[in-house]
Amino acid sequence: MCGIVALTGHPDAVEKVLTGLSRLEYRGYDSAGIAAQDAAGHITVRKAVGKLQALRDTLADTPLDHSNIEHSTIRTTIGHTRWATHGTPTTANAHPHQGRLGGPQVTVVHNGIIENYKHLREQLEAQGATFHSATDTEVIPFILSQQLVTHTPLEAIRHAAHTFHGNYAIAALVEGMPDTVLATRKGAPLCLGLGEGWYAVASDPLALAGLTTRFIFLEDGDCALLTPTAFTLHNGEGQPVTRPVQVLDLDDDLSGKQGFRHFMLKEIHEQPAVVAKLIETYTTPDGTLALPFNLSNVTGINIVACGTASYAGAIGKYLLEEHVGVPVNVDIASEFRYRNPPLAEGGLFIAVSQSGETADTLAALEHAKAHGQTCLVLTNAPNSSMARAAHHVLPLLAGREIAVASTKAFTAMVLAFTLLALELGTDAPAPHLAELRKLPQLLNNQLAALKPIKNLADTVTDAHSMLFLGRGVLAPLAYEGALKMKEISYIHAEGYASGEMKHGPIALVDATLPVVNLATGADGLFEKTLSNLREVEARHGRVILITDTAGAAQLDDATKRGLTLITVPDAPKLLTPILFTLPLQLLAYFTATAKGTDVDQPRNLAKSVTVE
Ligand code: M6R
């Protein structure tokens, strides 16, 4: 989603901000812009629709030093990548936005949503402000300009922020205040990057990788004023505060498709290594678990997440209920946060999030924490807002996931739930861990035999719709298979528990509908799956069966002839969800590449959804 990068005091501020924005590109955006300030405090803005290259082209066509600005004196720049929420992706709606009302002209970039912007805009228009965009953001510079008339810059941004409802991270430049960046946040993440002779602001420390390793994460309500030589930090009450400096060793290398055509394919292939790393880190060679926290007397669990993470959570429910024997609820975060569900004293709340920044999941976590729950987060971003808010963190150790469609983080989530179920359960973990250790090799074997899935993908590219069905722990995996397919191939797809098919979805079945069934031959329910397949066949639907060798062995020749069969290796029950994941990811990937979609940055999607 939107990204903010700002620098003050850096001799190469424009280029460094553009590079910082490119580090956030993978999150998804539809326009970009920068504002540069010269030594006299003059500010010039450049914006463009589309990828960052379009902004670079605009800068080449209309260089900053052709306007009222001396390029050589630019040491202060704010930049933004925008993912449209209010107003279509146009140059006018791209950030930065500028406004002046009573005070100096203010230039801002903003992540999040100002929910009361309509009301504020009406008020500002009545006072003489003229708006040039359809965005919620544009109210910010006018209000900050007004506040600067009677307040110091830090007080002005604090007072301005108090008028906003919603979530925001803001960086601002003020005309006539050279080499000064103002910043504040609530709900949306923002950190300071500490340099030598310069300071930076970014919505994600990753934007500053290669520039600094020292960061300060702002807390809700914090306001910052940065110059090249100092920064001042106030909390939401206007009191000076200090926040801890965190040293992060960020991976500077963004090149890395490592010979793969897409990041998604690379990340699919990284899964054996991710699984091996998780097992190695969180278990001991003598067969015990080594999770980085102690949880005891768990009587009930709420799992909350969005999208793919919620399906990992739903698989977690099956694993936890079976091994721990306590009731487990799974909720979509956007529903949980407003439903006010009863939360039993001492309950365990588990947030699941690759990014650790998803707005709804973060809000749900804060709600649970405020209601006395012990909060654990399973996240791939151990420095994220969720990691800081939770009592306990289980890092997913999957390495940075660039493709918008989550693959290796999902697998890491499912494995993390498996380890958690063994940790909280009463079974001796050693035999289970011995089984889990076979996973990397089994996944590698699967990756060595991609041909049948690629062939299958070539046959579904014309489908307008697909069904994904599964039973037990494979039901939520069917939902995930459908999500992956629609995210990157744009084929409409629905996931259902197999038993639900007769209750409605069967009406969709005709000769054009591929129906992907997930079934293991080892759970005693394979006969029921076969009945489901026959029901589809009888209506001329296209049956695709993903099963293990034990399942395949239960098919007679006639049945085999009527369907497309993809087999996964026979394996202990605990390994089933992960082994069935790989064919679904690959089917979506090969379908998307056959259709020629933008696999790594599919249309309309953002990697980290930091607004509701
Ligand atoms: O960062 P999170 O795991 O909290 O993100 C949640 C969802 O937005 C995410 O899983 C989304 O569904 C992905 N695009 C899935 O591929």
Among 268, 331, 352, 355, the mutation site with the greatest number of ligand 1 atoms within 8 A of its Cβ is 355
Q: Give residue 592 CA to ligand 1 midpoint distance, Å.
A: 18
The residues near 162 (Cβ < 8 Å, ≥ 6 apart) are none
Q: How far apart are CA 400 and CA 420, in angstroms?
A: 22
Each residue's pLDDT tens digit, 538-551: 888 899 999 999 99
Confidence of residue 252 (pLDDT cuts 50, 70, 90): low
The token duo for 327 is: 């009731």
Q: Among this protein's residues, is 607 annotated catalytic?
A: yes
Probe residue for ligand 1, chosen from 377, 490, 609, 611 as the CB with the greatest number of ligand atoms within 8 Å = 609
Query: How much distance in Å is there from the Cα of 414 to the middle of ligand 1?
Result: 14
Triad 128, 132, 138: Cα angle to 5°: 80
DSSP state of 508: G
Atom of ligand 1 nearest to the CA of 405: 16
Ligand 1 atom closest to 606 (CA): 14
The DSSP annotation for 133-148 comes to SS-STTHHHHHHHHHH
Q: Is 2 a catalytic residue?
A: yes
Centre of ligand 1 to C-alpha 358, Å, is: 8
Residue 252, CA atoms < 13 Å, CB-side half-sphere: 7
Are 239 and 208 within 8 A, CB to CB?
no
CATH number of 3-252: 3.60.20.10
Whether 299 and 325 have beta carbons less than 8 Å apart is answered as no
The string of pLDDT tens digits covering residues 108-141 is 999 999 999 999 999 999 999 999 999 999 999 9
pLDDT tens sequence across 292-336: 999 988 989 999 999 999 999 999 999 999 999 999 999 999 999
pLDDT over threshold 80, residue 67: no
Ligand 1 atom 10 nearest Cα: 308
Q: How far is the CA of 605 from the centre of ligand 1 (A)?
A: 10
Share of the chain above pLDDT 90, in %: 80
Top pLDDT among 393 and 608 is at: 393
Query: What is the pairing mode between strands 246-247 and 328-332?
Result: unpaired
Q: Please give the single-letter amino acid code of residue 294.
A: N
Element (H, E) at 15: helix 13-23
Nearest CA to ligand 1 atom 7: 307
How many A from CA of 309 to the centre of ligand 1?
6
**Residue nearest ligand 1's atom 4 by CA:** 353
The predicted structure's pLDDT at residue 330: 97
The one catalytic residue in 2, 191, 223, 306 is 2
Please give the mean pLDDT across all residues of the chain: 93
> Is 255's pLDDT higher than 60?
no
Instruction: Find the range with the poorest average confidence among 70-84, 159-173, 268-282, 555-569.
Output: 70-84
Lining ligand 1 with CB less than 6 A are 306-309, 353-355, 358, 361, 404-406, 487, 605, 608-609
pLDDT of residue 77 exceeding 90, the answer is: yes
The pLDDT value given to residue 369: 95
CATH class of 258-445: alpha beta
User: How many other CB atoms are found less than 10 A from the CB of residue 372?
Assistant: 12
- Can you give the length of the chain in residues? 612
The CATH 3.40.50.10490 domain(s) of the chain lie at 258-445, 449-597
Distance 37 CA to ligand 1 centre (A): 37
CATH 3.60.20.10 in the chain, residues? 3-252
Residue 66 has pLDDT above 90, yes or no: no
Ligand 1 mutation pick, 358, 489, 585, max ligand atoms within 8 A of CB: 358
pLDDT of residue 70: 56
CATH number of 449-597: 3.40.50.10490, 2.60.40.1930, 3.30.1330.20, 2.40.30.170?
A: 3.40.50.10490
Pairing of strands 223-226, 181-186: antiparallel
pLDDT over threshold 90, residue 268:
yes
Burial string for 552-589 (b: 16+ CB within 10 Å, else e) reads beebeeebeeebbbbbbebbeebbbbbbbbbbbbbbbb
State the first-to-last Cα distance of the chain, in angstroms, to the nearest integer: 12
Q: In what order do the strands lie in the sheet with 514-519?
A: 492-497, 465-470, 514-519, 542-548, 563-568
pLDDT band, very low/low/confident/very high, at 553 (cuts 50, 70, 90): very high
Closest CA to 186 of 145, 235, 230, 238: 235
β-strand partners of 487:
none
Give the nearest ligand 1 atom to 409 CA: 3
By the 8 A CB rule, do 105 and 145 touch? yes
Dist CA 359 CA 612 (whole Å): 6
Question: pLDDT digits over 152-161, tens only?
Answer: 999 999 999 9
How far is it, in rounded angstroms, from Cα 356 to Cα 378?
8
Residue 487 main-chain phi, psi, to 5 deg: -60, -45
Distance (Å, whole) CA 148 – CA 133? 23
DSSP state at residue 504: T
